[in-house]
């Protein structure tokens, strides 16, 4: 990505800072993504196994922002040399929506990331704020699209949806565990190994709802990459009753890739052990309640597996993957979702890329997984609903 670097001289002239910032720099960068999308969602039922009211199917054509790689963003990145090899750094990054000019990530002005911290080059850093978790990195970088395009394994698993059900922007657990509010992240690397540890305060209340601890590790050796992460976090305040004791929930991700030259192959597994005690859930998080959130669920465990590849073709890159979600209920049959992705990227220049994206999720009678691209989502029409989307788009970086 080509960025526009602002030296401290420009910053001093604008803000009247003194010579104390003489070793500082600020970078302004961004990405704009727009795509013409057509989608369809077949009819389903409101409850698992064909129970509940029938939900009608739907289809539409729309302009989307956030189908292609990265998702639209504008950011400000700063570094200051503190001497002795130390650096202070910050990042503010928001997600403007190209189709209507609003902010994505629930309308948060800097909803993608905002943090400040210190570090020593690439050897270690400590940052605090709203930032990506080690789990997010391990999951996304083990998929061939890095979490982008319709039907990718990461977003089609429901990651960031099931685990933060009912939570709203600024709540402390919004879009968790992909992004974590009120978090501190320690990162270090040495040779082929790197490691991260995140702790987060969650909703910041006496019940300690939403609190998280999440280590992650990566091994990179030429064409080989192996990543793993494990997270423990408490239920969010918005999903349980006011007097309930929050449960500890668990996630893990193990994945890797190998670049053969003619193809870069990826595979992995992600697991989520959800609430085991439905009695502590409030109405908004209880499937079948008249006031239930669209993503309320009744299964106890989820497992997602995937395989995919990036293949150089015709001056561009062909991307493909197949993923499967399994949802384990306390009794009865499992839910099952198959997710399919096919995409092609063609660079017109270093900064501008044209792409096509085709994706689908197929849910059985006990699953209602939405179809999600990089940012935008098409919910299923209940259980046993299949969702498909096709987009043609353009991505420009600056």
CATH of 4-397, one of 3.10.20.30, 2.40.160.10, 2.40.70.10, 1.10.10.10: 2.40.160.10
The percent of residues above 70 in pLDDT, for the chain, comes to 94
What residue segments make up the domains of the chain, in order of their start?
4-397
Q: What is the pLDDT of residue 36?
A: 98
Q: What is the pLDDT of residue 10?
A: 37
Q: What's the predicted TM-score (pTM) here?
A: 0.92
Q: What is the pLDDT of residue 122?
A: 84
**Rounded distance between C-alpha atoms, residue 250 and residue 257, angstroms:** 24
Q: What is the pLDDT of residue 214?
A: 98
Q: How confident is the model at residue 22 (pLDDT cuts 50, 70, 90)?
A: very low
**Rounded distance between C-alpha atoms, residue 341 and residue 357, angstroms:** 8
The mean per-residue pLDDT over the stretch 3-32 comes to 57
Query: In the predicted model, is pLDDT for residue 1 greater than 60?
Result: no
Q: pLDDT tens across 155-179, in order?
A: 999 999 999 999 999 999 999 999 9
Q: Which residue's entry shows tokens 């939570």?
A: 167
Query: In the predicted model, is pLDDT for residue 353 greater than 90?
Result: yes
Q: What is the pLDDT of residue 155?
A: 96
Return the closest-CA partner of residue 90 out of 112, 111, 116.
116
The mean per-residue pLDDT over the stretch 232-241 comes to 97
Task: State the alpha helices, DSSP H only, in the chain.
Answer: 8-15, 134-140
Q: What is the pLDDT of residue 18?
A: 37
The mean per-residue pLDDT over the stretch 29-51 comes to 98
Measure the CA dihedral 236/255/116/84, to 10°. Answer: 150
**Rounded distance between C-alpha atoms, residue 160 and residue 375, angstroms:** 11
**Angle, CA of 325, 326 and 330, to the nearest 5°:** 150
The mean per-residue pLDDT over the stretch 132-140 comes to 98
The mean per-residue pLDDT over the stretch 40-62 comes to 97
The mean per-residue pLDDT over the stretch 175-199 comes to 98
Q: What is the pLDDT of residue 16?
A: 38
Q: How confident is the model at residue 17 (pLDDT cuts 50, 70, 90)?
A: very low
Q: Which two tokens stand for residue 205?
A: 């209340």
Q: Between these two residues, 62 and 2, which has the higher pLDDT value? A: 62
The percent of residues above 90 in pLDDT, for the chain, comes to 93
**Rounded distance between C-alpha atoms, residue 365 and residue 296, angstroms:** 16
Q: pLDDT tens across 271-301, in order?
A: 999 999 999 999 999 999 999 999 999 999 9
Q: pLDDT tens across 237-269, in order?
A: 999 999 999 999 999 999 999 999 999 999 999
Q: Compute and round to an integer the Cα radius of gyration of the chain.
A: 21
Q: What is the pLDDT of residue 356?
A: 98
Query: In the predicted model, is pLDDT for residue 229 greater than 80?
Result: yes
Residues near 359 by Cβ (< 8 Å), separated by ≥ 6? 149, 150, 151, 152, 156, 339, 340, 341, 342, 343, 371, 373, 388, 389
Query: In the predicted model, is pLDDT for residue 75 greater than 50?
Result: yes
Q: What is the pLDDT of residue 121?
A: 85
């Amino acid at each position: 990505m080509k960025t526009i670097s602002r030296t401290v001289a420009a910053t001093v002239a604008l803000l009247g800072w003194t010579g104390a910032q003489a070793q500082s720099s600020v970078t302004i960068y961004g990405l704009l993504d727009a795509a013409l999308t057509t989608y369809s969602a077949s009819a389903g039922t409101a409850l698992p196994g064909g129970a509940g009211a029938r939900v009608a199917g739907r289809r539409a054509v729309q302009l989307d922002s956030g189908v292609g790689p990265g998702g639209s963003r504008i950011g400000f990145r700063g570094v200051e040399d503190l001497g002795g090899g130390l650096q202070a750094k910050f990042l503010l990054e928001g997600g403007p929506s190209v189709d209507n000019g609003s902010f994505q990530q629930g309308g948060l002005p800097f909803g993608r990331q905002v943090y400040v911290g210190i570090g020593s080059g690439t050897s270690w850093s400590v940052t605090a704020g709203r930032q990506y978790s080690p789990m997010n990195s391990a999951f996304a970088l083990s998929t061939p699209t890095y979490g982008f395009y319709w039907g990718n394994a990461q977003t089609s698993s429901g990651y960031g949806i099931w685990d933060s059900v009912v939570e709203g922007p600024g709540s402390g657990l919004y879009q968790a565990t992909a992004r974590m509010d009120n978090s501190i992240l320690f990162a270090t690397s040495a040779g082929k190994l790197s490691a991260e540890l995140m702790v987060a305060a969650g909703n910041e209340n006496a019940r300690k709802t939403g609190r998280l601890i999440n280590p992650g590790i990566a091994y990179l050796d030429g064409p080989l990459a192996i990543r793993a992460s494990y997270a423990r976090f408490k239920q969010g305040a918005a999903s349980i009753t006011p007097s309930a004791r929050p449960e500890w929930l668990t996630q893990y991700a193990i994945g890797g890739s190998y670049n053969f030259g003619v193809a870069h192959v990826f595979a992995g597994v992600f697991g989520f052990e959800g609430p085991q005690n439905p009695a502590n859930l409030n109405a908004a998080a209880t499937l079948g309640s008249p006031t239930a959130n669209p993503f309320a669920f009744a299964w106890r465990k989820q497992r997602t597996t995937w395989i995919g590849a990036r293949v150089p073709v015709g001056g561009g890159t062909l991307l493909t993957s197949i993923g499967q979600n399994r949802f384990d209920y306390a009794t009865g049959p499992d839910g099952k979702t198959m997710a399919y992705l096919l995409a092609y990227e063609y660079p017109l220049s270093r900064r501008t890329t044209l792409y096509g994206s085709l994706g689908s999720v197929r849910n059985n009678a006990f699953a209602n997984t939405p179809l999600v691209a990089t940012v935008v989502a098409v919910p299923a029409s209940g259980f046993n609903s299949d969702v498909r989307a096709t987009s043609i788009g353009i991505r420009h970086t600056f």
